[in-house]
A = this chain, B = another copy of it.
Amino acid sequence: MEISELGEFGLIKRLTKDLEHKNTSTLKGVGDDCAVIAPEEGMQTVITTDMLMEGVHFDLTYMPLKHLGYKAVMVNLSDIYAMNAIPRQITVSIALGKRFQVEDIEELYNGMRLACDAHDVDIVGGDTTSSMTGLAISITAIGVAPKDAITYRNGARETDLICVSGNLGAAYMGLQLLEREKAVYRQMVRNAEDEARANGTNIEDAINAIPQPDFAGREYLLERQMRPEARKDIVQRLKEAGIKPTSMMDISDGLSSELLHICHESKCGCRIYEERIPIDYQTAVTAEEFNLNVSTCALNGGEDYELLFTVPLTANDIVSGIDDIKVIGYITQESLGKALITRDGQEFELKAQGWNPLKG
């Protein structure tokens, strides 16, 4: 169905049908000039926003719209958890090119609703409009946390332990796989076209006969790239263990880049150990296949949406006992610099080579 058949209000009505609010603080969702949110006793509000542009942040040739919707929400929720807070509401703005049908946008929206359901978040508003070109998505997420729980980037202190959740570099390797298969597929299309033309056979049939790429054994890497999961569980486990991180960030641009932010904001140095950086087996195997240094991928890859945080040295035993958290180094005084200690004991200055959407 063409979007113009429904118009803006019709489309919004269709997308937001059956939206149920899971949070008692959501007093009014979609359907007025603003959403209305009730205060929660003793809580402060945290708010974050992210904009995703087609051709810059995502490639619809391999990213299904449902996954894109899911990911667009997750990257925002990840920022909320990175404050040690709990997400409650999001607003969603979408600008659509003319090539999209109502069903496409429903797919995108369904992915968003899935992500919201998994994290008990309400969609309370947004904007749906057209774009002269590609798809643009802008999401704002709102969360709450008790005043004393909120964790900033500037609280890391000398001797604090540097921790990361999960493993790193997998989302980056997933992207490399997808980009390689996209290039291979394009070449196969060109070959099929040439052959069909030479033989006088049907071009479309020839293209349809091209086999789908085989990602067997690499599913985890694709999932990390296409369906990241914000680490609510880590925030919960830390809370249950009675630990409040001294600083925290989510890893969207790459471990190096984020750790340098924490050092800068906390006015401190750091030492991290290459051998302690958590890396999945598939990431390592695939990096080797691509002739890439796996540690470089883990340090600079980005998009893993894991949590990077610091805890007091005294919490060592507790964090080491929490599943899926790894201590990778410690905070030093600022004058000692930011150091990466390689497997063979060499010391390098940590540099941010993370993804920069405005570079070059």
| Docked pose: A150 CA to B357 CA in angstroms | 40
| Docked pose: A357 CA to B48 CA in angstroms | 26
Q: B32 touching A153 by the CB < 8 A rule?
A: yes
Chain B residues, CB < 8 A from A57: 129
Knowing A45-B37, A79-B34, A143-B34, the reply to whether A133 touches B132 (Cβ < 8 A) is yes
CB distance from A85 to the nearest CB of B (A): 7
| Docked pose: A84 CA to B135 CA in angstroms | 33
Of B32, B133, B140, B143, which contacts A91 at CB under 8 A? B140
CB contacts under 8 Å to B, within A18-57, are 27-28, 31-39, 43-51, 53-57
Interface residue? A3 (CB, 8 A): yes
Chain B residues, CB < 8 A from A54: 132
CB distance from A221 to the nearest CB of B (A): 25
Q: B140 touching A51 by the CB < 8 A rule?
A: no
Using A33-B82, A47-B142, A136-B138 as known contacts, list a sample of 19 further A-B pairs with CB atoms less than 8 Å apart, ordered by residue number in A: A4-B360, A32-B152, A33-B249, A35-B46, A36-B83, A37-B45, A39-B44, A47-B124, A47-B125, A49-B91, A49-B126, A49-B127, A50-B93, A51-B138, A53-B130, A57-B129, A95-B136, A132-B134, A133-B134
Residue of B at shortest CB range from A87?
B34
CB contacts under 8 Å to B, within A94-146, are 94-96, 124-134, 136, 138, 140, 142-143
Q: A48 touching B125 by the CB < 8 A rule?
A: yes
Q: B39 touching A43 by the CB < 8 A rule?
A: yes
CB distance from A20 to the nearest CB of B (A): 19
CB distance from A58 to the nearest CB of B (A): 11
Interface residue? A265 (CB, 8 A): yes
Quick one: CB contact mask for A283-326 with B, threshold 8 Å, 1 for yes? Answer: 00000000000000000000000000000000000000000000
Knowing A4-B358, A133-B133, the reply to whether A33 touches B47 (Cβ < 8 A) is no
Which of A6-14, A198-206, A268-276 is near enough to bind chain B? A6-14
Interface residue? A80 (CB, 8 A): yes
CB distance from A11 to the nearest CB of B (A): 6
Q: A7 touching B49 by the CB < 8 A rule?
A: no
| Docked pose: A131 CA to B138 CA in angstroms | 13
Q: A56 touching B130 by the CB < 8 A rule?
A: yes
Q: B49 touching A125 by the CB < 8 A rule?
A: yes
Q: A39 touching B32 by the CB < 8 A rule?
A: no
